[in-house]
Amino acid sequence: MPVDGELKMNYTAVELMACAASRILEDENTVLVGTGLPIIAATLAQKTHAPNLLIIFEAGGIGPVIPTIPISVGDSRTFHRAVMAANMDYVMGCAQAGLIDYAFLGAAQIDQYGNLNTTVIGPHDHPKVRLPGSGGANDAGSLCRRTIILMQHDKRRFVEKLDFLTTPGYLTGPGAREIAGLPSNTGPYRVITQLGVMGFDEGSKRMKLLSVHPGVTLEDVLDNTGFDMIISEEISTTKPPTVRELKLLREEIDPAGIVIRK
């Protein structure tokens, strides 16, 4: 009889993305999260393999015990039983001091070097769409050790050239971050979408396909990418969520289905 983690259950793309993101986070590390899928992934990591993961919210909640899913980074629940109730200035100071290991980011556009646009679609002065802007994304992408980008995967978002550079990835390639004055041990680490998991080539700093999700083909990824992505010699398949992970997501972390839609 199969053990708990080997049983098969139906899952959504969002649940798979949450599990893939959570598995990246290491115990006894720090992670800067926003609300939505990032807090789902971080909480899941805490409840599985990383019980000592320190969650930090942009508005100042450091090390909270999340009672229910907060609706924003300034929600009072992000301070519930926290180690510290600080502020945005303090959190960004921690990033500048090199104290934050991981940060979650989202984007409307991303290029092959992990540069992000969350400002405008179209010309800056006469945009087709005005987006929310940077918030703390530029600080996180510039200063945190590793950034994990969660976003949808299609040619409108995975583009050859950004309409606007909001948050730096590897800019124009090797050495560009350092020339711009950014810490040498920082930069984008993983990109997780509904199609697969991407990393970045150590030499060229270009995006590299690491795994495709179950049921997704290499052609699906290439057809939805607007630039030439490096393809690993051996492309793996993302490990599906386990029964335990799905039960935690659905019954403890997000029982109302606010992020993990039912």
Q: What residues contact 66, with CB distance under 8 A and at least 6 apart?
A: 39, 43, 55, 77, 78, 80
Question: How is residue 7 written in tokens?
Answer: 């049983």
Which DSSP string corresponds to 158-170? Answer: B-SS-SS--B-SS
Count Cα atoms within 13 angstroms, Cβ side, for 200: 26
Active-site amino acid positions: 58
Q: How far apart are CA 85 and CA 60, in angstroms?
A: 6
Do the beta carbons of residue 29 and residue 189 sit within 8 Å? no
Alpha-carbon distance values, 191 to 27, 173, 208, 258 (Å): 20, 17, 9, 23
Do the beta carbons of residue 190 and residue 199 sit within 8 Å? yes
Q: How far apart are CA 63 and CA 71, in angstroms?
A: 17
Q: How far apart are CA 121 and CA 71, in angstroms?
A: 26
Q: Which of 101, 96, 16, 17 is nearest to 56 (CA)?
A: 101
Q: How far apart are CA 170 and CA 110, in angstroms?
A: 11
